[in-house]
């Protein structure tokens, strides 16, 4: 167990170094997030106009929500679906299977390395700058920060699980490009990144509550903006844990099926 663990740490480290190697990518990444936060900040201000609250959000909660959900996205976002699909298509997944580690966990670790890189080098400095420029309100209690950190780690897990599932579809269809694109749209739209879920019409809210996407952005960002307080925080966290466990089942099943296919047909 322990040597495996150090191997995982090394995968995270290597991915971290790879990210560092592309400096222009790093700079432009910061700017992308700054622009997105800035633009949505002003957009929401204009939308609120003279209104004090809209869709259960105050202006201050809304601007904070925008900032924190984009910063969280920097951490949980990755392209694992595309990487896995490409490795399946060019056959290198078969080579990966000969290596002495579980492929999917290996991929998750890579994603984690990438996410940690962005968390430390985009999100933290970015959040400092955003706090200085814009009117937002950070939580003051230590335990809120702590539970938020745990929750965005679960955001990462759930988002990566969805990516693994979409990526693995390439085992069964010749081209899963369409599915990957749909997934991307769905995550940005239904996770509450672009519009908080409380703004959606009632029927849509009802549907979204039964989908895993809200666990990625809406729940942790709601905790951070203090819209969800007290015991409700634990409810939100439990929803994340349930989704994490639930999504593990189809991943396990599909992976077993895919492996069998790979063994029988030789890729």
Q: How far is the CB of 158 from another protein (least distance, A)?
A: 20
CB distance 69 to 87 below 8 Å:
no
Q: Which of 4, 9, 10, 25 binds another protein (CB under 8 A)?
A: 25
Stretch that binds another protein, among 13-21, 228-236, 238-246, 254-262 (CB under 8 A): 13-21
Q: Does 38 bind another protein (CB under 8 A)?
A: yes
CA distance 35 to 156: 23
Q: Does 125 bind another protein (CB under 8 A)?
A: no
Q: How far is the CB of 184 from another protein (least distance, A)?
A: 8
Stretch that binds another protein, among 1-9, 32-40, 206-214, 238-246 (CB under 8 A): 32-40
CB distance 12 to 106 below 8 Å:
no
**Strands, E assignment, 7-165:** 53-54, 57-58
Closest CA to 155 of 229, 57, 223, 60: 223
CA distance 244 to 171: 23
Tell me whether residue 117 or residue 171 sits nearer to another protein (CB atom). 117
Strands 57-58, 53-54: pairing kind: antiparallel
Hey, is 192 helix, strand or coil?
A: coil
Residues 181-220 that bind another protein (CB under 8 A): 181-182, 185, 188-189, 194-195, 199-201
CB distance 59 to 48 below 8 Å:
yes
Binding mask 219-248 for another protein (x = CB under 8 A): ------------------------------
CA distance 224 to 64: 8
Tell me whether residue 20 or residue 232 sits nearer to another protein (CB atom). 20
CA distance 185 to 175: 18
Q: Which of 1, 2, 3, 51 binds another protein (CB under 8 A)?
A: 51
For another protein, the binding residues (CB under 8 A) are: 13, 16-17, 20-26, 28-29, 31-32, 35-36, 38-39, 42-43, 45-49, 51, 54-55, 175, 177-178, 181-182, 185, 188-189, 194-195, 199-201
């Amino acid at each position: 167990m322990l040597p495996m663990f150090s191997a995982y740490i090394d995968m995270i480290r290597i991915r971290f170094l790879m990210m560092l190697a592309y400096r222009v990518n790093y700079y432009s990444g910061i700017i992308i997030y700054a622009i997105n936060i800035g633009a949505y900040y002003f957009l929401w201000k204009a939308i609120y106009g003279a209104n004090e609250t809209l869709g259960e959000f105050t202006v201050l909660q809304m601007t904070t929500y925008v900032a924190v959900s984009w910063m969280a996205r920097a951490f949980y976002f990755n392209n694992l679906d595309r990487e896995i699909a490409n490795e399946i298509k060019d056959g290198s997944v078969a080579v990966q299977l000969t290596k002495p580690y579980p492929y999917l966990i290996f991929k998750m670790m890579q994603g984690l390395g990438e996410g940690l890189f962005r968390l430390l080098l985009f999100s933290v400095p970015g959040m400092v700058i955003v706090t200085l420029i814009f009117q937002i309100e950070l939580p003051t209690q230590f335990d809120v920060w702590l539970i938020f950190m745990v929750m965005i780690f679960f955001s990462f897990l759930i988002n990566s699980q969805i990516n693994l599932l979409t990526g693995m579809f390439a085992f069964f269809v010749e081209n899963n490009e369409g599915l990957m694109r749909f997934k991307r749209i769905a995550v940005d739209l239904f996770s509450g990144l672009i519009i908080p879920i409380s703004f959606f019409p009632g029927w849509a809210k009802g549907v979204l509550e039964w989908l895993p996407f809200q666990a990625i952005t809406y729940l942790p960002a709601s905790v951070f903006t203090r819209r969800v307080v007290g015991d409700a925080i634990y409810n939100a966290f439990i929803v994340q844990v349930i989704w994490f466990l639930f999504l593990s089942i189809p991943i396990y099943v599909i992976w077993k099926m895919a492996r069998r296919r790979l063994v029988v047909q030789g890729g």
